[in-house]
Amino acid sequence: MTERYRLSFTTGGLFLQESAIATASFLQLGEWTATRAQLRVKNLLQVRTAAAATRISKEVTARLQELSSEELSALQELSLRDQANLLWVAVCRRYPFIREFATEVLREHFLVLRRRLVFADFDHFLNAKALWHDELDDIAKSTQLKLRQNLFRMLREADLLSDQYEIHPAQLSPYLAQLLARQGRQVFLVFPATDNDIQRWLL
């Protein structure tokens, strides 16, 4: 039976600032439940309502839990570009739907020199996946639009997509590339990158 997709990325983009705050809290407390509680009770993420604080703290920590201890420790030391790239990796690990879109659509477009990504690409991808995933048939049109909006927002925040929807080649620092290379070649397939790029990052 095909595993159901998680589709809870209807909240926010990459959460760059929030992730930095949550990481600092976790590295101090050493436990995710306590981290979520601290984020919520002290409103460290500075959101307007208690419900939003609960929702966003849960989403941010769920993504960060996808990172290794080394990756988490490094997150605070990275440049903003590398932070965004690492959080993109975390999102792709958390959400197989996004990971498959990244590898099957984003990277494939880049490799065949189709350097623009449009909303129709997302719609076609979702419709194709719906043949195997009933949960995609069940979502409301408004939810589908929100998923698409947030995915494109994440790509822009990671500087993998311009405001004009042009695909940017991934730019990883040698340090981040070395850190991710410990997970093997697969981790790099979520980026717009050639095989030569990936081989260079793996060295």
76: Cα within 13 Å, side-chain hemisphere:
13
The answer to whether 154 and 14 are in contact (CB under 8 A) is yes
pLDDT at 20: 94
DSSP 2: P
pLDDT at 138: 87
The amino acid at residue 46 is: Q
For residues 45-69, one letter each, b for 16 or more C-beta atoms within 10 angstroms of the residue's C-beta and e for the rest, the string is bebeeeeebebbbebbbbbbebbee
Burial of 144 from C-beta contacts in 10 A (0-12 / 13-18 / 19+): middle
Work out whether the CA dihedral 39, 79, 118, 100 comes out positive or negative.
Answer: negative
Burial of 37 from C-beta contacts in 10 A (0-12 / 13-18 / 19+): middle
pLDDT at 42: 83
pLDDT at 46: 85
Within 10 A of 96 (CB to CB), how many other CB atoms are there?
15
Entry pTM: 0.95
Instruction: Locate the domains of the chain by residue range.
Output: 11-65, 78-202
The answer to whether 43 and 131 are in contact (CB under 8 A) is no
Question: What's the CATH number of domain 78-202, 3.10.129.10, 1.10.3540.10, 2.160.10.10, 3.40.50.2300?
Answer: 1.10.3540.10
List per-residue pLDDT tens for the chain, 203 residues long: 578 999 988 888 999 999 999 999 999 999 999 999 988 888 788 888 888 888 889 999 999 999 999 999 999 899 999 999 999 999 999 999 999 999 999 999 999 999 999 999 999 999 999 999 999 988 999 999 999 999 999 999 999 999 999 999 999 999 999 999 999 999 999 999 999 999 999 98
DSSP 159: T
